[in-house]
Structure 1
Amino acid sequence: MNTQTYQYLHKDVIEALKGNHLLLALQSLQGLAATLKSWSVKEEVDTLADSYQMMLSYMAKGADDPQRHKMYAGFVRRAYELADVLERVGEISSDTSYYATCLRTLQQLRGAQYQLADLLSPDAPVRDMFDAVWLSGAWTADEEIAAANYMAADTIPVEHKALLLSAATLAAMRFFDVAKYRLLLDNALVLETKLRVRALTGLVFVHIVHASRLAMYPEVEARLKLMSDLPSFVSELELLQTQMFLSLETKRIEKSLQNEIIPQMMKRMKDLRIDKSLGIDDIKERLDEADFNPEWNDDGTPSKLSEYMKEFVALQQRGADMYMGSFKVLKQRFPFFNIACNWFWPFTMQHPELPAGLEKNKLVKLMINNAGLCDSDKYSFCLMALQLPLDAGSDKAAKMQESLADIDLPAPMERDAAERYKDELRSYVQGFYRFCNLYIHREAFVNPFQRNLFIADYSPFDNIMNDEELLVRMADFVFKDKSYDLARSLYERVPVGARTNGLLQRLGYCYEQVADFVRARALYEQANALKPQSDWTLRHLAVCNRNAGDYEEALSCYNDLAEMQPEDAALALRQAECLIYLQRYDEAFKYLFKANYLAPQSGNSERALAWCSLLTAKYEQAEKYYTKVLANQPTPTDFLNAGHAAWLGGNLPLAVTRYKRALPHDNALHFLDDDKAMLLKAGLSEADLAMMTDLVAN
């Protein structure tokens, strides 16, 4: 069957159900079942339709039925469940579906009529169990019991139980099944950390994908509410929430590492020349002599590299994913990762696809125990280590073994239960994120990270996590990660009367970062009212006023700041800038001379003095300052403005020379457009501008 055909029919069913048109939905279900030739399901749909028609007929006769609403809810719920069954039947019938291909492969291996319960046993191959679970439809009562028994059996390794929970998560996200959700609920409070992490993460992911469906099962929501009475459950939910938010930063971190951190480190190393004949101790000595310190630039100012590294160290300490980019290529290189089960297999050197004796490799042990890698990255490193070096008898191999022989590996650090839980949670969420973004057949699975990840937006978590302090903690957490849009949405949930000065500052900053200066200004004004004369608030309020074009208000803020910091050259420059926009040039000069006196080496005040002189027709003075500016690392804009000064001062040849110096970064036919009004006001004509353009562009 054409895939689009059954998807179109299934869409009709869901839209009818969402529109509260149950009778129409049942009719569409009958048509979908007939189209898919799923006669057993059609028979059940027919029975459901007959029962609903019977209830409607009693209602039409005015019969009193106190169970009517409950029955209607049951009909709707069952209609959704049958729609799920038929959606899966349609998926299986597709010739191109990865889901269908995997199911057919499993049937060839285990027999077309294999039973899921038979694979939920200690004797079944683990990969077959995993595949059978994630490919399964809605569980029967017997299958749900078999899964529960598997989780309770002492003879089943924890790693295998963990794989069952992950497979159930994948399956329940793809095709909703309340039985699988109950399995996750059953294990969300168990003592074993690996299982508790996977169960809690799984039930939250399934809930995010199917929140509207779960609302039809009040008994399930009731269990969640009971669990929320346990402080440990709520605190672990909060930890999961922070880790999910951190996952949103993964792409930004990867981009920053590639575009900022690594290039700057390479730039630092460019002058370091290492003789290949040097030994390890000699190289270390040369590195020490090079004083490879990222803290300062050559001119003694704090370096960008230092800022980036501090930020990324802080992110790593909080559980951010720093290794996605590093291991991406390896995930695509090794066939190991073409198997879905391997992405979720808890790390163990006894994995059946890893060679025996790997635990004796000191390099592997060093990385596995100390690098903070998620499980799938640990497998990546092991597979990579097996190929480095390939020739065990080579000089390279001998030197590596000799170098590692004397290393006394530290014993794994002892961690308390809370630390172990956080590490396990970090590893699992990062591994899940990698699967959703790197697995070769990822399009066949639901990606929860593409959904709204704020748990409190879903019932009943909205009541479980409605604590105001928790909301602020979540907002502060993502604010520190520069996720300003998400932080803004969280801060705005805090009632107006409960907003502190600090919260208003951060909310205003979120709006400032997305260039909504009007809203940012209003929030900064509220913050200033709560705590007047705050240096930080006034500076940002001034910036917003300036960007909003309100230079009087911006000047007022800078004046207040200048009273507190009268020796600040930058403030004097900002005061002058506002006065220039207000065309109060005489006052502006006063502040420009002050800024130049306080910081004569910066060059910024000289640029502003030159421009202000130009605006006030003081061309000799403008020329004096532009001469200084052009002698100190000038920009194309400096040459452009200096060209104006020369032209208006009567030195046309010099103007042409300066304009041509500005043109490599400008449009030759329009380089005068931005300053046209100023030049015309100074006495030049349209013809003058046209001829100068042709002269310079020639």
Structure 2
Amino acid sequence: MKPTIEQTILVHQRVGKALSMLEARMADLGITEFLDELHDVRDDYDRMADSLSQGQRDPSGGKLYASLLKRTYRLYNNVRLSSIIRKYPVLTYCRKAAEKTVGAGDVASVKASLEGFVQDLAMQTLFSGDSQEAAIAGIYAKHQRYMDALFGHILVSWQWTSKMRMEYAELLASPTVDQNDGMLIVSGVTLSLMQVFDVNKWMLLHDVYVYNPSQQLRQRALVGMVLTVPDMRSEKLFGEVEDAITGMMENADRRKELLETQIQLCYSASARTDSNEIQRDILPTLSKESRLDITKNGIVEKDDATIDDILNSEERDQSIKEIEDKMSRIMDMQKKGSDVYFGGFSKMKRFGFFSQISNWFMPFTVNHPDISGASMLGKYPGIKGMLMNGPFCDSDKYSFFLSLSAVVEKLPPNILEMLASNDGPVTAMPEMSNVDRGSAMYVRRMYLQDLYRFFELYPNRIFANPFEAKAGGAFRGFFFANIFFRGMKGDETAQLSRFLFKRKRPDLVAYMLGECRDAAALSLDEQKLLAHSYLRLGDIEKARVIFSSILEKGGEDAAAIKGMADSLFLLRRYAEAAKQYARLTVMDGRNISHQLHLGLALVNGGDVKEGMATLYKLYYEHDSDLNVMRAMAWGYLADCKPKEADSLYEKLLALAGEDRILPTDLLNSGYVKWIVGNVKEAKERMGRYLAAFPAGEAPSLETEMANDRDILSRNGIEDYVVAIMLDGLDGQK
């Protein structure tokens, strides 16, 4: 497979070949605006090549070639952007609108326009009356058109120079520029980087994060930085990026913010999953109970109790408790960082307002000319309280306002009474007043929700979604696995791994620690988390190797011994597993699980007598424990006592009921029925075993029987009998 132009530049670092490929690409696409730049780079490259062919070697030749490589990459990115703009009409529109409104877009003229807006507003404070309101509305409308165009200009702008980077950094730090404008500019830069990487735009985000005094701007810049880091390290091309990230990783406070940001990105990436959980498990319970009323004093229960409620007070109390539990679950999810509002607000993005890309990232303001909100908020201050104090991202605030403005006059009187109150909605939703809205965590969370809604719901899918899973399973915004972050100095990677493991994402732990980091550099905690992740993922041999290494270094580590024992058991190395489980029983003799696994390992390993002695003792002490019953029944089977096994499996299935029966209970009890001669019931159990798995995910019965061949053979089931049984089961399908 031939390398792409980008690979030729970044991987092979072949300037001459890349220029030839670029020239051909530009001719194919009819792109002429960068021909002069192409010829300049080609001329400089040819001079260097001619000098070398004549035996002349410049002492600074390495630096000159690195410069040519950067210029070639810059040219490639401009050509690529040009082709993208031509491909998508919305980007073509952005360029045309920007040329009409912003012009060349030099930073000095941009700064003058932004400062002029602030000055014009200040001048209007000298006046009063209707003329002042009309003038202010006109100023906001004109400025919004300019900001839409500026956002589009940045979105489709060619590669920046270092001078532009410094000028924009100065502009964003200026106290005479409105913060909302700065926030929109940062988002425009981020979106531009997601289309085509530009080292100077990326470094602008770094400069804003490190040096800008505004928390709002800093956190937007941080999110933009981590979502647009290149996925390939090259000193010749991305040396500034590498130095910047290395500097961040050496600072404990910034490492902490990087960790927090990655965790928040993980929560954001699971917004649809969380929304589905709320829709499936929580909302049905809340909708069952329609006896809650909203008043200006909060959410209260309606006073319409029936005689059934009075006579069945315990049932009613249980129903109320269930509602409280579900509400607590939602609040707990929100406190941890889950995006609990996505499901509801995702259906409210069809307004024409959201056809403009910049509006998805515009900080909420009642002065936005496309919502005309001042009059409604003056009449219903409760709405303003919800918008200003509610834990909603800016995109959802616009959705809420637009939706409510269409129906507000049709709402019931009690709702209107609440909205006319200054504190009614806040009282009804007490979590609104318990949030530090100025904290870095909160600012980032709200911005990430804005980003998530844009990438998930904007109809023109022209941007790579950072919340979407890549081919390997990790989502694009999983930047801790990026090559630039592999030198993380502190314990942050281990902390993230613990978080992911608790969130039941061992795949991400394995990807980050197993594939994206040097095994020799892993801490002991990271090795444990990686080994347990492999165990969860079914990559047993990899887990065993790491557990073995940990035990060689760490001695009596109970968790590692347990992991080692489980790995050996799953690999069917039962005698070795039994030795490890025996160590665990010495360390903790009261642990039923250790004793149970020891007994099973001994039985499966051929030491049936000693294994059954362990299992008999357990069963005597815990005769109603389902896991002990399972082990004991399997032990009877290994000891060639199928009648005793059959009796115990029947007891187990009756005691477990449908809710607690495991698929293996059905398979193993099917074996027993088969061995005692009840073939019809054996087939029924095995059919139920296969049906217990989702469609297409059932294990192969042939493989299962091959794995259990020793036990079956010991109980008189010969190979030809197995073959006939499998054929019979196939005939039932």
| TM above 0.5 | yes
For 1:222 and 1:647, how far apart are their aligned partners in 2?
65
Alpha carbon RMSD of aligned pairs, Å? 4.9
Selected match of 1:559 from 582, 602, 608: 582
Q: Secondary structure at the match of 1:156?
A: coil
Between 1 and 2, higher relative CO (CA 8 Å, sep ≥ 6) is seen in 2
Q: Relative to structure 1, is the Cα distance of residues 344 and 590 closer, same or farther in structure 2, using a 3 angstrom cutoff?
A: same
1:132 aligns with 2:153: yes
Query: 1:252-651, aligned counterparts within 5 Å?
Result: 252=270, 254-255=272-273, 258-259=276-277, 263-265=280-282, 280-282=301-303, 289-290=317-318, 293=321, 316-331=334-349, 333-354=350-371, 355-357=373-375, 359=377, 361=380, 364=383, 368=387, 372-387=391-406, 389-392=407-410, 394=412, 397=415, 409=427, 420-444=439-463, 447=466, 451=476, 453-454=478-479, 457-458=482-483, 466-488=488-510, 493=517, 496=520, 499-500=523-524, 502-528=525-551, 533-632=556-655, 633=657, 649=676
Selected match of 2:91 from 88, 99, 116: 99
Q: Report the count of equivalent residues.
A: 660
Query: 1:199-278, aligned counterparts within 5 Å?
Result: 199-208=221-230, 212=234, 215-216=236-237, 220=240, 224=244, 228=248, 231=251, 235-236=253-254, 238-252=256-270, 254-255=272-273, 258-259=276-277, 263-265=280-282
Deviation string 1:607-637 (CA, Å, 9 cap, x unpaired) is 4444444454445534543453454337587
What is the CA-CA distance between 1:104 and the residue it aligns to?
3.7
Selected match of 1:160 from 169, 181, 190: 181
What is the CA-CA distance between 1:185 and the residue it aligns to?
4.2
For 2:226 and 2:668, how far apart are their aligned partners in 1?
60
For 2:363 and 2:462, how far apart are their aligned partners in 1?
23
For 1:684 and 1:30, how far apart are their aligned partners in 2?
72
TM-score, with normalisation over the residues of structure 1? 0.77
Identity %: 23
Amino acid at match of 1:342: N
Range that drifts further, 277-286 or 503-512:
277-286
Q: Secondary structure at the match of 2:374?
A: coil
Selected match of 1:180 from 172, 177, 201: 201
1:70 aligns with 2:63: yes
Q: Is the 8 A contact 2:527 2:546 kept in 1?
A: yes
For 1:41 and 1:691, how far apart are their aligned partners in 2?
72
2:220 equivalent in structure 1: 198
Q: Relative to structure 1, is the Cα distance of residues 580 and 46 closer, same or farther in structure 2, using a 3 angstrom cutoff?
A: same
Q: Relative to structure 1, is the Cα distance of residues 292 and 539 closer, same or farther in structure 2, using a 3 angstrom cutoff?
A: farther
1:151 aligns with 2:143: no
Deviation string 1:569-615 (CA, Å, 9 cap, x unpaired) is 44443233223312333333323322222222234444444444445
For 1:73 and 1:362, how far apart are their aligned partners in 2?
60
TM-score, with normalisation over the residues of structure 2? 0.74
For 1:229 and 1:644, how far apart are their aligned partners in 2?
58
Amino acid at match of 1:68: G
Q: Secondary structure at the match of 1:442?
A: coil
2:121 equivalent in structure 1: none
Q: Is the 8 A contact 1:617 1:682 kept in 2?
A: yes
Range that drifts further, 658-667 or 419-428:
658-667
What is the CA-CA distance between 1:515 and the residue it aligns to?
1.7
Deviation string 1:239-297 (CA, Å, 9 cap, x unpaired) is 134313432344445325525x6544468679x7667999834489979712655799x
Deviation string 1:511-569 (CA, Å, 9 cap, x unpaired) is 21222223323433454556655554443332222111121222223333334554554
What is the CA-CA distance between 1:35 and the residue it aligns to?
4.9
Q: Is the 8 A contact 1:456 1:466 kept in 2?
A: no
For 1:169 and 1:482, how far apart are their aligned partners in 2?
30
For 2:58 and 2:671, how far apart are their aligned partners in 1?
89
Q: Which runs of 5+ in 1 are unaligned?
A: 1-7, 297-304
For 2:59 and 2:620, how far apart are their aligned partners in 1?
87
What is the CA-CA distance between 1:159 and the residue it aligns to?
0.1
Q: Is the 8 A contact 1:247 1:433 kept in 2?
A: no
Q: Relative to structure 1, is the Cα distance of residues 413 and 592 closer, same or farther in structure 2, using a 3 angstrom cutoff?
A: same
Q: Is the 8 A contact 2:180 2:363 kept in 1?
A: yes
Q: Relative to structure 1, is the Cα distance of residues 283 and 582 closer, same or farther in structure 2, using a 3 angstrom cutoff?
A: farther
Q: Is the 8 A contact 1:542 1:554 kept in 2?
A: yes
